[in-house]
Amino acid sequence: MSTLERLKADTATALKGGDRERVNALRLITSELQKAEKEGAGATEESAVLQRERKRRLEAADAYEEAGRDDLAGAERREAEVIEDYMPEQLSDGDLDAIVGDAVAESGASSPRELGKVMSMVMPRVQGRADGARVSAAVREKLTA
């Protein structure tokens, strides 16, 4: 079952259960994935769409918290959690460190100034299984160690 089919089935279940917040989140994700599909996106793009939407929700939650709107921040965080259910399993710290270590060795990078070179090698390998900020932190740590 594809992610889109799973989303549609889960939306129907949430509708029957009367969970309006979950229904809204699922419909939003479904809409974004359908847009990506129309543009010819594949399975790898699917995870990028999910990751982008999750990031948007978390950024919005942070903005709402700064504005003192904890109720709206909570709603955005719950939407981000719903999105996470459909994302590929995240890499463990050990797996991410191994990928970063391999990329650093392959690129010959030795200083933080070469962060971009290493990041361009690592990001295609993690393909939505690790957040960019987390990858960046791991690369920085390897290059400064």
- Tell whether 80 and 100 lie within a shared domain: no
Which of 84, 102, 128 terminates a domain? The answer is 84
- The yes-or-no verdict on residue 145 having pLDDT over 80 is no
| Separation of alpha carbons 71 and 101, rounded Å | 41
Contact in structure between 11 and 26 (CB atoms under 8 Å)? yes
Domain count, the chain: 2
In tens, the pLDDT along 16-53 reads: 999 898 999 999 999 988 888 887 766 567 778 888 88
Q: What is the 3-state secondary structure (H, E, C) of the chain?
A: CCHHHHHHHHHHHHHHHCCHHHHHHHHHHHHHHHHHHHCCCCHHHHHHHHHHHHHHHHHHHHHHHHCCCHHHHHHHHHHHHHHHCCCCCCCCHHHHHHHHHHHHHHHCCCCHHHHHHHHHHHHHHHCCCCCHHHHHHHHHHHHHC
Domain housing 116: 93-144
Q: What is the CATH number of the domain that holds 137?
A: 1.10.10.410
pLDDT attached to residue 42: 61
What are the tokens at 143? 């290059």
- Tell whether 106 and 70 lie within a shared domain: no
pLDDT attached to residue 5: 86
- Tell whether 7 and 61 lie within a shared domain: yes
Sign for the pseudo-dihedral over CA of 101, 106, 110, 111: negative
pLDDT attached to residue 115: 83
Q: What is the CATH number of the domain that holds 78?
A: 1.10.1510.10
pLDDT attached to residue 111: 79
pLDDT attached to residue 57: 92
In tens, the pLDDT along 104-122 reads: 888 887 777 888 888 888 8
* Residues 74-98, mean pLDDT to the nearest whole number: 88
pLDDT attached to residue 88: 79
- Tell whether 37 and 108 lie within a shared domain: no
Average pLDDT, the chain: 86
